[in-house]
Amino acid sequence: MSYSERFYKRQFITRKKSNHQILDKLENLLNSYFEENYVDKGIPSVQFVAEHLNLSPTYLSGLLKSLTGLSTQQHIQQKLIDKAKERLSTTQLTISEIAFELGFEHVQSFSKFFKNKTKKSPLEFRALYN
């Protein structure tokens, strides 16, 4: 095997590991954002996520898109939906309380967002689990 082939393989392995670390860091960042009540600042933005991962927003979105098929914004939205589903199915919090906990300023915005992504209203989704 030539030097250039070994160098290329080594670069590929290193890059692959760091890309998976970015995904793990993104997951941890979004989890801590919602669990540690940073939501008083609203829904996390792509800029916020990129800054905390020490990457440019454009680079981060491109990287995530190439790794997962989803942009940074889509990852944030998926995390919002996951957290909303979790709270709707495991707590007795009102829709308003859940919306505010997740950083939405208006319940209507949350309901519209949830229905757009899941094809069910928050109440319809909750009814499936009660």
What CATH number should be reported for the domain holding residue 7? 1.10.10.60
User: What is the pLDDT confidence band of residue 34, given thresholds at 50, 70 and 90?
Assistant: confident
Number of domains forming the structure of the chain: 1
For residue 116, what are the domain limits? 3-129
Distances from the Cα of 77 to the Cα of 11, 12, 43, angstroms:
32, 30, 9
Rounded CA Rg of the chain: 18
Q: 34, 85 in Cβ contact below 8 A?
A: no
> Measuring CA to CA, which residue among 104, 125, 123, 124 is closest to residue 113?
104
Q: Which stretch of 37-46, 80-89, 111-120 has the lowest confidence by average pLDDT?
A: 37-46
Average pLDDT value for the chain: 88
- Cα separation, 119 vs 55, in Å, equals 34
12-21, 26-35, 58-67, 110-119: range with highest mean pLDDT: 110-119
Q: 89, 127 in Cβ contact below 8 A?
A: no
- Kindly tell me if the per-residue pLDDT of 122 is higher than 90: yes
- The whole-model pTM stands at 0.81
